[in-house]
Amino acid sequence: MIPDARYVPVPILPVLRPDTGQPLDLGFSVLRSVSPVHCQYLENMGVRASMSLSLLANDQLWGLITCAHPEPLLVSHSVRTMCAAIAQLLSVQITALHTRDEQRQREQKSRLLNELTAAMRLADRDVLEGLLNHPEPLQALTGASGVAVLIEDRLQLFGECPTVEQVRALYLWVREQCLKSGEPLLTDHLQGLHGASALYSDVASGLLAFVLPKPVDNGVLWFRPQLRSSRKWSGNPDEHFSAGDDNRLQPRTSFALWEQQVEGRAREWSAADTYAVKELRRSAIENDLARQVLREHEAVRKRDELVAVVSHDLRNPMTIIIMQCGMMQRLVARDEGKHTVRLSAALGTMEQATARMNTLIADLLDKSKLDAGKYPLECKPLDVVKLLQEVCGLLVTLTSHKNIELNCSSSEGLSIDADPQRLFQVLSNLLGNAVKFTPSGGRIDLSARQVDGKVLISVRDNGGGIHAVHLPHIFERYWSVRDGNPNGSGLGLYICRSIVQAHGGELWAESEPGIGSVFTFSIPALVADAA
């Protein structure tokens, strides 16, 4: 409120508050001064007193109620309070009307969204192809006069749109803007953002668009034509101020009716339009991701089936080759010719390579079963002491060959419910690795103990150890191959961990370069029936 635009301002003393050192906050003061330029503006209008009331919609300034008086006028506190109450009540009503209208529009658009989402879900290839057979609902979703759907190199136009070349060029700019913001793009004055669009402002002054985050072109663009109209102003809005003789800004003096022709602007997109496009984009992304997941699962399933079939079919011929090599070795041993030694060595190499390939085939079969969740287990109660003794008895030949000391120890009375063959496979792999990486004259300890209802079985060696950089990856599939290790398929430890997990346990490793490694796995202990 300004009771008299010709008032003489009075300074506040002191200028800064002594307690905070900051200027006094006059945000809610009715006595605060205003800009001299504004006072001059009121005088040019022939106004001595003025008052304004803010109208808010959803906490945003929606409009103003402005009051003016030709003479000085001090509006009483009671009248100001009533005016403020009217403004607040009107603001509440405006917000309620906006909310009701937006809700009504959203309900109408929800039906269209359901139809378009279902069409995308049933599309044969790309999700956006489902929209091509529903151009009317697609346009009605935003009240657009035209819509363009781009799917890779295919562009479909419906309704009033720019030319194909113009839309393709516009899409490159739209894609850049949408990927930068991660949101749909909307404007009712396209040429203000993209100057080249002025060539087709008659059909596309308004634009609402989204693109899908894919490496290929996928997007939908809605267009609205420009609305040529006129706006009436109380004076030319481009001449708000004019410089005076002393180069100080002065308010304009003319308030004659001025009419402006408006071009290049379309009808504004509503909040419901924006909501509908965001929901359609969300549904498109969700459907596209679902399709990708299904395709990947199908590819994995077919790959695993192929691996299983090929591995199974290879086992028989590989077994025959091994048997034939053995038979030929025996025949060659009887021959005393000069080529016997070389031929025997060649047959031995073939036999070793074939045996290694047979092991790889077995690993691939196990992997395909593990990945498919169809790994068979035939569990039964096992005495841990006897299990470790059997393993050590079978592998003692390998350790003796390298002069490695093999120690086996276990707490008494340990029992687990497990598949003996699968568990023997785990122990053989861990002990085999330990023998491989332990130097001649080294030591390997195989031990078992019970901790918190679980039996922990450990294989410790004093070999070269595993570097800390590699340790987190040793249980990954094919890791040894990726790391350049020529020995093994890279599936051994992966399969061991999967077997242990299938028993409800865990397998982990600890290692220190130059000291050695410890591989430990847990199996739930078998609790004896108290009865």
The β-bridge relationship of strands 405-410 and 443-451 is parallel
Q: Which CA distances in Å does 488 have to 190, 359, 363, 493? A: 63, 9, 10, 10
CA distance 288 to 290: 5
pLDDT given for residue 294 in this prediction: 74
Single out the residue of 82, 95, 89, 84 nearest to residue 52, CA to CA: 84
pLDDT at position 190 over 80: yes
Q: How large is the average pLDDT for residues 346-359? A: 65
Instruction: Band the pLDDT of 308: cuts 50, 70, 90.
Output: low
Asked whether the beta carbons of 386 and 329 are under 8 A apart, the reply is no
Report the pLDDT value the prediction gives residue 230, as an integer from 0 to 100: 65
pLDDT at residue 455 in the model: 94
Query: Which range has the top average pLDDT, 60-74, 312-326, 371-385, 421-435?
Result: 60-74
Q: If 0-12 CB within 10 Å is exposed, 13-18 middle and 19+ buried, where does residue 13 land?
A: exposed
Does 347 score more than 70 pLDDT? Answer: no
Band of residue 99 on the pLDDT scale cut at 50, 70, 90: confident
| Measured CA angle at 261 (ends 259, 264), to 5 deg | 155
Report pLDDT for 372. 56
How would residue 8 be classed by pLDDT, with cut points 50, 70 and 90? very high
Are the CB atoms for 277 and 331 separated by under 8 Å?
no
For residue 31, the cross-strand partners are: none
CB atoms within 10 A of CB 112: 19
Which pLDDT score, from 0 to 100, does residue 319 have? 64
pTM, two decimals, is 0.51
Percent of the chain with pLDDT over 70: 75
pLDDT at 482 over 60: no
- DSSP-based helix, strand, coil % in the chain, nearest 5: 45, 20, 30
Give the pLDDT of residue 454.
92
User: In the predicted model, is pLDDT for residue 268 greater than 70?
Assistant: yes
pLDDT band at 110 (very low <50, low <70, confident <90, very high): confident
pLDDT of residue 459: 94
**Domains (range + CATH), the chain:** 1-106 (3.30.450.40), 107-291 (3.30.450.270), 293-371 (1.10.287), 380-524 (3.30.565.10)
SS3 425: helix
pLDDT reading at 138 higher than 60 = yes
Asked if pLDDT for residue 488 goes beyond 60, the answer is no
